[in-house]
Amino acid sequence: MNEGENRMKLSSAVFAVTFVLALTAWFILGPLSSSMAAEQAPGRTMAQQATKDAELWITTDHSKHEVLQQTFTSGPQVTRACVSCHSEAETQFHKTIHWTWKAGENEKGVQMGKAAYSLNNFCISANKDQDKGCYSCHPGWGSKTEATNCLVCHGKKEIKWEESFEDYNAFLEESEEDPDLKELADEIQSEIQAAVQAVTRPTRQNCGSCHFYGGGGDGVKHGDLDSSMTNPNKALDVHMGLDGQNFDCVRCHTTELHNISGRIYTAPAYTHRKSLIEDDLTSKITCESCHSSTPHQPGSKANDHTDKVACQSCHIPTFARVNPTKMSWDWSTSGKTKDGKPYKNMGAYGKHDYLTIKGSMKWEKNLIPEYFWFNGSIQSLTAADTIDPSGTVALSYPLGDMHDKNSRIFPFKVHRGVQPYDKINKTLLTPLLSGPNGYWKHLDWQKGLALGAKSLDLPFSGEFDFVKTTYVYPTTHMVAPKDNVVACTECHIRGESRMANLAGFYMPGRDHWALLDGLGWIMVLGALAGVTLHGLGRIFTKKGNGGKKGGE
């Protein structure tokens, strides 16, 4: 070898070594740098900063206010005491949906809301306030609407107000004859006063006293809200968990003039996705508010998903993780009796799967949500809408589609029902259930349905049948710790993908073009067969490597 050749070999060796070193550095430092960059995801750090100092200071001790030390004999008297200082509170509150149960008109001019024409596939309708059973969740005193019971949301102590006032007044009256009863009356009064003076900002307990029990029982309606959320652990909900952030509902459901942020029927919970960095006065109702829209480690593929996939889709792997939730309700089987009497049958999870007054129902736990494109609005039918009873009727369904940049793939609980409809008018029917004339009393559909239609001033032909319906709840609570997220392959997989029902786009791992794959493998196998035959030919002619060069 001459000198020039040596020099060239040397320089090419140096080049190769440098190249290999650079590649090694790229392979090792690439993944390492992102894991070293921050110990936790930036979105988490941001959220922690946005919500630190959650301990708010207060300037008043309600037990020291004389007006709250008076003798209370009725609910409205308590309200008057509250508004003697908080002069505008009740006026504000009376304009909110929590009081009116009305959600404005839909695009057809039909009034929405529990106190209007909205319906579901649970107890179907509140019959414009005529179904008094629903009023256990109205924030007045008992079923009356003359004054607000501020303490439903602001009371730290849970007491039975109606009963306490009744007992107090009765004992006081009777104590004129039996002085011993005065002591009992005083005891009740001091309980009432203690409850009146124990004022708080709304806690999970307050909101939960209605929202965990919607539909007439624990966990009936929402799959992600039930009594397990009063004192959840972090595994159930990272935000509200006692060993997590211990948030109250209002930490995210921020309020303005007693209007509490959140979705109201079709009205979305938010119209703009903004983080607190972009707008420090924005509501905290979205995940993005605190976590930003790219919360994961820089370079993480998860950040690339946030434009199409809602945070909830991955971070709430299942709902109803502790308590069961009702998944279906078939009204058509109601009315059966045993020995001429109504009965109940106990099913799984200690929940009834049949009640004479309600029909058949299914309870389930730890459920995988169904996924739909969702822009934040839910379209719902009203009792005034006509339906097509030949198929399943969607009483409510998420709005949004894959081409809308404000839509995301979002997880839902879908409650399936079978409920009465008018065969002639093609409308859903709204039976009156509770009360002396309600269906639950007499089990006569004709009567219950007629009274129900009358309560809403809607026609009823007298001919009815049952139709299958669906009703959706967005799943947004019960956010699991980061180790318990939905794995890539639960969606990016052939056949059993969580998103198998979402069509119209290509998802790696889930989708393939069978024709191409088929032809492709034929080509590869054809090549294999070809070279095998060629090789066999060479072996049999025994001339395959007969001193030839070239080729390859």
Please give the residue ranges that form the binding site for other proteins (CB under 8 A): 5, 8-9, 12-13, 15-16, 19, 23, 26-27, 30-31, 301, 304, 307, 487-489, 492-494, 505-506, 508-513, 516-517, 520-521, 523-524, 527-528, 530-531, 534-535, 537-538, 541, 543-552
Q: Shortest gap between Cβ of 61 and other proteins (angstroms)?
A: 54
Q: What angle do CA 73, 76, 82 make, to 5 degrees?
A: 105
Q: Shortest gap between Cβ of 539 and other proteins (angstroms)?
A: 10
Tokens of 137: 């969740």
Cβ–Cβ under 8 Å, residues 260 and 266 = no
Closer of 34 and 197 to other proteins (Cβ) = 34
Closer of 85 and 523 to other proteins (Cβ) = 523
Select from 313, 306, 295 the least CA-distant residue to 44: 295
Q: Shortest gap between Cβ of 551 and other proteins (angstroms)?
A: 5
Closer of 64 and 549 to other proteins (Cβ) = 549
Q: Shortest gap between Cβ of 517 and other proteins (angstroms)?
A: 7
Q: Amino acid letter at 385?
A: D
The contacts of residue 363 (CB under 8 Å, 6+ apart) are 324, 325, 326, 327, 347, 348, 349, 351, 353
Indicate the pairing of strand 378-380 with strand 396-398: antiparallel
| 3-state SS assignment for residue 374 | strand
Rounded CA separation 113/122 (Å) = 15
Closer of 57 and 506 to other proteins (Cβ) = 506
Closer of 53 and 552 to other proteins (Cβ) = 552
Q: Shortest gap between Cβ of 131 and other proteins (angstroms)?
A: 50
Residue 366: alpha-carbon gap to chain centroid: 14
DSSP 163: H
Closer of 358 and 510 to other proteins (Cβ) = 510
Q: Shortest gap between Cβ of 288 and other proteins (angstroms)?
A: 17
Q: Amino acid letter at 211?
A: H
Rounded CA separation 78/64 (Å) = 15
Query: Quick one: how many helices (H) and strands (E) in the chain?
Result: 15, 13
Cβ–Cβ under 8 Å, residues 156 and 129 = no
Q: Shortest gap between Cβ of 60 and other proteins (angstroms)?
A: 51
Closer of 15 and 343 to other proteins (Cβ) = 15
Q: Shortest gap between Cβ of 279 and other proteins (angstroms)?
A: 23
| 3-state SS assignment for residue 341 | strand
Cβ–Cβ under 8 Å, residues 293 and 277 = no
Closer of 192 and 309 to other proteins (Cβ) = 309
Select from 299, 302, 298 the least CA-distant residue to 287: 302
DSSP 321: S
Q: Shortest gap between Cβ of 28 and other proteins (angstroms)?
A: 11
Task: Write the DSSP string, 88-121.
Answer: THHHHHHTSHHHH----B-TTSPBPSTTTTB--S
Closer of 343 and 505 to other proteins (Cβ) = 505
Cβ–Cβ under 8 Å, residues 369 and 327 = no
